[in-house]
Structure 1
């Protein structure tokens, strides 16, 4: 038997929760589905991560976010969004994977790994953190290869290779080095550390590289991963390095396959930007909306919690004229 709801929200991150609150305030029933836990992306951030934004910029639903630090930490954010979901009595369905979305006259039928839903409108707020860019090289399937980083302790006294040169890669290289990794090397496709690396961190990583504490191979790439070594192609030729772990901080991408299955047009621009109305957030599929970082396609630094919270009200203001 199908469960009926006015608005079905796919993604229980901060923006998905904000959409649920906006629907609730407008008198619309809502259901928020996520294949993982509440704010799953934040949960998968490094354990000691600190946000760039201040706590007031992460607030949703007029629930104050009080932090004990100038900028909130991951544990504080998890506590805050749990409190929001509880205090606003949001209708969340977690660890439930969306399998199919079909249009049935004026409604959508959404089949998940647990049950079926009937909804008047759908909001997709799935972010991008679930699909890492793969290296696509032999050995990438080995357990020693990690596309997510949580904490430095497992890498104590280990030889670590960090792939990439953006903020996450630099943070991982510095932290594993300072927490006792036997050797840290960075393998970077570009000629230098990414210019967008945080200005207060860039001198640190450059100094560690210059003094030889961290070895960096620029204009290089890993070509094969073995249990105890990696092959690296460098400008000076191919080399083999002893290695225990590969931390591939290569970034993440939206689930374009899912968007296409729903019928959403994907742009031919370099960022593969999904099609939506910038005033209402409605896609080319009637009554299907986008919210949050997924709106930027591959340009994952275009939208954040602080500048996409408004999507919730924009969407619900449009829905008010359609659902009565």
Structure 2
């Protein structure tokens, strides 16, 4: 839902293109009310779609529905024309947010096992080599997975999800634990998939990654789809005004900040006060007022608006927000 007082962003009308994934009025709610839907989503060939939202917004539940891991309570999902989950699984690649634990096998053996579910042994060998090389694991392909670091296991999970070149890939928090080289490998893999016309849906709150890798962003909040746009559209809507983040103590009051000329919207969350600078010259007054207040100023960060700011402006909540109840199946 839009935050009270939030200015609706005009959404650009999308060209009518034949979709390859259709989720119509899908809903899956748990006893605690968390989950996702009802929601309608259409994805076309080659799209790289990011699903963003705080913990509990429904990102993981949506991916599990699309990956046939759970059935929606209502609604229908159509994958490349079929509504059969059994047939759809032949078309999918899924990387959950858990880490590969096949410690007794080598990376090559483990990936080969996955690949053989989709193709012959003759074909699988080359596909396995390509996938391991893509994610920088070729030199350790014959080492046991038990010797791998967290980041290496994350790379292996991505290689296994994409090894058979699925028509549709679903990746849950794929950049968690990846170093910059691993992120670059993932971005390149998604670019190659897009060139082949194969769409990818990624659940992530990594704003930098989304800006570099995705051409469409879905914002989820409380299981509802609140916005659907290209990253560039969201950032253009925000404008180029800088955002100041002040690290402050609990007793800090924002009243004096609101009186400063050149300061726009102010929000507060988890010891961080965020304010929009309508005029960069206001920054000096902001620092003076904050540092002279009770408890003082503990830290300052400046940045240009990003997708996290767009989500906050639309919903009044942070992408990092957590809710007290953390059901394991509703992320």
Q: Same fold (TM over 0.5)?
A: no
* Structure with the higher fraction of residues in helix conformation: 2
TM-score scaled to structure 1, two decimals? Answer: 0.27
Higher RCO (C-alpha 8 Å, min separation 6): 2
